[in-house]
Structure 1
């Protein structure tokens, strides 16, 4: 095995899965058991006024993403997943988690009954 850029990026992805899974599980734990909604659907660093309403969705997304990351970690360590499979699973999970979190946060911050404001010219 020659150490080049692709090998370095692969190691970075694999090692990054450990803290990523930890933070996702921790966020799901805080929402489910501690009823801490301070990190739910943040937009501009502020939670929505109805964070309790979207908290179950955020918890499920974090729990599922954390489980997939944990399965990938265990699968790689046991040699059960080949390179293409685990990198696809890890990368897809990370990106889908970010997109879903973004969609939930935007939906939670919508004002009901108000028209969307467009910033034309600014």
Structure 2
């Protein structure tokens, strides 16, 4: 087996799964047990008006994503997942997690139509 770009990218994907799983599971831990809602449904770095309302959904998204990625890591290290399976699971999970977070953040920050010339409401500090 010769070392080429494809093998390097596979290793990069696999090694990137470790910090991804840690970060996602840590976010779920913070939301569920520490009741820290500072990273719930952010849009442009701002939390929604009621982050506690969207916290269970964000925790579930992070818990499922982190759990699947941890399963992929275990499966690769144990040798029970072939390349096609683990790369599809990892890639699909990453994309689905990003899309679910995006959808939730847009749902938490509803689009408000304003009349022409009406000023935007000031952000509450």
Relative to the length of structure 1, the TM-score reads: 0.91
What residue number does 1:58 align with? 58
Shift of 1:2: 1.1
CA distance in 2, matches of 1:104, 1:17: 23
What residue number does 1:7 align with? 7
Shift of 1:115: 3.5
What residue number does 1:69 align with? 69
Q: How many aligned positions are there?
A: 115
CA distance in 1, matches of 2:56, 2:114: 26
Answer with 1 or 2: which has the greater Rg: 2
Gap regions ≥5 residues in structure 2: 116-125
1:19-61 CA-partner distances (Å, limit 9, x unpaired): 0000000000000011000001111111111110011000001
Equivalences for residues 39-58 of structure 1 within 5 A: 39-58=39-58
Equivalences for residues 1-122 of structure 1 within 5 A: 1-110=1-110, 114-115=112-113
Spell out structure 1 runs of 4+ moving beyond 3 A. Answer: 114-117
**Secondary structure at 2:72 match in 1:** helix
Shift of 1:73: 0.2
CA distance in 1, matches of 2:114, 2:27: 30
Gap regions ≥5 residues in structure 1: 118-122
Shift of 1:99: 0.3
